[in-house]
Structure 1
Amino acid sequence: MAKPLGERVAEALKSGEGEAALQKLLCDERAPDIAVALENLEPGQCERIFEALEHDCAGEVLTLLGPERAREIVETLRLDQFRRLLEDLPPRDAALVAAEAPEEYLEAARRDLPDVAADAEIRAAYPEGSAGRLMTNRFLRLRPEMTVAEALDLVRDTDPSIDVPSNLYAVSQAAGPSGEQRETLEGVLSIRALAMADAGQRISELMATDMVTVKAEAEDDEAANLLSTHKFSTLPALDRDGFLVGVIPGDDLMHVLVARMHRRYSRAVGTDAQAMEDATPLQAAKIRVPWLLGTMLLELGAGLVIAHYNDVLERVILLASFMPVISAVAGNVGLQTAAITVRALDTGQVSLKHRGAALLKETYVTILMGALLAAVLGGIGMVWSKDVTFALVIAIALGCSMLTAAVMGTMIPMISKKLGFDPATTAGPFETAFQDIIGFGVFLALATLML
């Protein structure tokens, strides 16, 4: 059974294949398969593969990529390459690519392809990841007072080479906030409904006026949910004032979301994990050893804490019996929290922007768990030592240690991500070290004060 194209491409890049070999590898592959393979690669690798594509295929592949990856590639193209790509693409696809291009490239498109540039500029006016970034102003506009015969003539007169959404929108002109002429959405109907109607009927009699729309500033996920729920092929996008600014074709939206989910999945199973898998034993050791050395130095701090309280350990030897238990329980809490945080960061469920909410939630969870486990371990300590004070020391120390582990397990992956390190590599070692230092310090300090 043949390997997936992504694996074969990765192997070719790893073995240092030249451009001719890459072209041979890709020559018989379909554009959607190539696009999926490119989404899995690192930016530099992605550009190498794109350069090896035949010109006719390159444009189609570019339109099938998610915005992030498309932008990375567009920024590496020469101006003449960019112009040729736009000229060979259907106008709607060309606008999708141009919206991700640098300003000087868009300026060239304004001279050579003004309609494409106008569509791209409307999209580029909205934030990345918004519904407006995916809408097009190239759609069939009808007037409510039109007859079916007039509307069908308009459809027939449309350039067949221009890819326009299949739904037809009835619009009227209205004055905008600054007095400019804007479009107001009046209704929608499908080409099929138009073709089956009597020639003399008015569009106003056929169109649906109870329409589902989306704000152009809304997240594209919201638009995807509406398209999926209502089974639409297109979705009208309105501005803040309620005027129609474009429509979002379902196929454009879906391939963007699929590309995004594919990249999130790749990160979840591990772009870092894949890099580690591809590394030689020496390379893997070089990546991991610095973090372990840092942990070792921090753990020496825990050793100094224990040495400082050596007298109390000698007087109450039972304390030493509970130290491994506290360390192990807190360590597992930290590892659980770190694993949950790393997974959430990679899948997009938690972002660095909302780290406060994630930390607060994990703190509440840990307080609940800590109260239960501290009561259990404190009870065991009381039965064992026959001393309520000793049990209190054990319970409080376990609670503090668990809380420290949870905070470190949440924050360290986020800090690592922010600084560009692999959270999976850094989270475990540092969380364990900090939890031991603070846990043992609290435990032995309380023991000294209370016993």
Structure 2
Amino acid sequence: MAVELNYKELVKKLKVLASDKDVDLADDPVCQALSNETPADIALALEQLPPEEAGRIFTTFGDPLAAEVLAKLEPKLSKNILGKLPEKQMANIINILPPREAAILITEAPQKQADSYVENKDANREVLQEVDARLIYANGSAGRLMTTHFVKLHVGSTVGEAIEEIRKTDPDIDLPEDIYIVKKEHKKNDRLKGVISIRGLLMADPRQKVEALMAKEVVSISAIAKEADAAALMAKHKFMTLPVTDKDGYLVGVIPADDMMQLTIDRMRSRYAKAVGTDAEAMEQLTPFQAAKKRVPWLLGTMFIELMAGTVISHFDGVLKKVILLASFMPVISAISGNVGLQAAAITVRDVDSGSAERKDLWPSIRKEAATAILMAAVCGFVLGVIGAIWSKHLPFGIVIGGALICSMLTAGMMGTLIPVLSKRLGFDPATTAGPFETAFQDVVGFAVFLWLATLLERFIA
């Protein structure tokens, strides 16, 4: 509980400092606010601030503190901060970190910053080796998550030799706990033969061969597999590490559980924030003026599309004057269709932003929603058509009402499904665009079909 309170209190202090434009953040106030605070608490506090303020405060840190804090920040914020750091300072910070943590930051950094470090003559060779091993594989793959810094033993080693090998490792560098047993093949390639834990080694006779103790049925994952598959394997088997193999089955690295947990938590936070189609954290950080500026253009676009609906209505002014009852059903058609569109938009946005709906998987969701819209439109159109026929005492009037509702609902369902997909592909926020445009288009199409049918059947319904 004390840790939670400390980090929350620190957030308040930093918000006050960051909001005061007259305070020199390189001076005493920040130093006092951060005194006796752990890098983890500082990272948690910075993540609660708008990116600009977090970056402004970060620039006041000395390189040692900056390195520790940067390694603990969520990827999105660390990438933002790295993108604004001078190249020399970034290189200094990276060189302070252990190779594994440094490689994680570089592979997540903006391309320009990553290239500048790789080309820096003072770059850490171990870090570059780790970065090169990761960058061979695509972003989002298991290979991009793995580390090449782990303890491996060759077949034939004794327990005593294994323990001695572990003692030679740098105690300041965090290494995965599992030890992998390999057999050298084709010069540098290691064939994975088994795995054993440090505890297993410590409890065994130092003279025993590791082959007698190791687990020989080792679950591994291909380096080109998806990171989600790696996470599923680790969770299912409760592994502390997961070995990664290349296309030929040779061991190329391991994924530590703590790295995977951090990544999974960050993904979950991001997807939760986008569950309704927008980045809630980013929206919370906007001022009212910024939020309005972001949303007003789409509302103005909706206004102009709705004016088209007004033009359609004025074009059929004659039939409305003759059959006043038509006007009574227009709000009903608009409201029902609007709800269909909003439901379709919410479902599609969830699929788009959850990460489960990739491009190849999205069309089945669209087809399913289209089929659902057709069934709902048929039922609602029939019911409203019957009500219209009874109310007006004219069957053609009911046909007009039912047909118009069906067309309007289908349009709303289609727009509510397609607009979020197109918005996402074009780089816009689906939640900001889906609602306004879906409503506008279904009004234009719904009213046009409604009044066109009414005009065709005017002599039967007047």
**Fold-level similarity (TM above 0.5):** yes
Q: 1:187 maps to which residue? A: 194
**2:63 maps to 1:55:** yes
Q: Which residue of 2 aligns with 1:412?
A: 419
The one of 32, 42, 50 equivalent to 1:34 is: 42
Identity %: 48
TM-score by length of 2: 0.86
What is the Cα deviation at residue 403 of structure 1? 1.6
Indicate the SS of the match to 1:99: helix
Cα distance in 1 for partners of 2:397, 2:38 equals: 70
The separation in 1 between residues aligned to 2:116 and 2:159, in whole angstroms, is 44
> 2:163 matched to which residue of 1?
152
Aligned to 1:120: 131
How many Å separate the matches in 1 of 2:291 and 2:148?
51
Q: What is the aligned partner in structure 1 of residue 261 from structure 2?
A: 254
CA separation in 2, counterparts of 1:165 and 1:112? 24
- Aligned partner of 2:388 in structure 1 is 381
| Residues 50-449 of structure 1 mapped to structure 2, 5 A cutoff | 50-101=58-109, 102-108=114-120, 112-175=123-186, 181-268=188-275, 271=279, 275=283, 279-280=287-288, 285-350=292-357, 356-449=363-456
Q: CA deviation at 1:252?
A: 1.4
Please give the per-residue CA displacement for 1:401-427, whole angstroms capped at 9, x wherever unaligned: 112112222333444445554443433
Task: Tell whether the 8 Å contact from 2:117 to 2:123 is kept in structure 1 after alignment.
Answer: no
1:140–1:168 CA contact under 8 A, matched in 2: yes
Distance 1:107 1:277 in 2: 36
In structure 2, C-alpha distance between the alignment counterparts of 1:278 and 1:120, rounded to whole Å: 35
Q: Let me know the Cα RMSD of the aligned residues.
A: 2.9
C-alpha displacement of 1:440: 0.5
Q: Equivalent residue for 1:13?
A: 18
Question: Bigger CA drift: 370-379 or 351-360?
Answer: 351-360
Contact 1:119 / 1:137 at 8 angstroms: preserved in 2?
yes
Deviation at 1:239, TM superposition (A): 1.3
In the TM superposition, what is the alpha-carbon distance from 1:439 to its structure 2 partner? 0.3
Contact 1:39/1:263 (8 A) holds in 2? no
Partner Cα separation in structure 2 for residue 331 and residue 100 of structure 1: 41
How far apart, in 2, do the equivalents of 1:77 and 1:390 lie?
69
What is the rounded CA distance, in whole Å, between the counterparts of 1:417 and 1:6 in structure 2?
A: 33
Deviation of 1:442 after TM superposition, in Å, equals: 1.0
Q: CA deviation at 1:249?
A: 0.8
Whether contact under 8 Å (1:366, 1:406) holds in the other structure is: yes
Q: Secondary structure at the match of 1:108?
A: coil
SS where residue 433 of structure 1 aligns?
A: helix
Distance 1:404-1:8 versus aligned 2 partners, 3 A rule: farther
> Does the 8 Å contact 2:273/2:281 carry over to 1?
no
The secondary structure found in structure 2 opposite 1:224 is helix
Shift in Å at residue 275 of structure 1? 4.0
Which ranges of structure 2 fall in alignment gaps of 5 or more residues?
Answer: none
- Aligned 8 A contact 1:338 1:409 in 2: yes
TM-score scaled by length of structure 1: 0.88
Q: Tell me the secondary structure at the aligned position of residue 183 of structure 1.
A: strand
How many aligned residue pairs are there? 445
Between 345-354 and 307-316, the greater mean CA deviation after superposition:
345-354
Q: In 1, Cα distance between the equivalents of 2:290 and 2:163?
A: 66
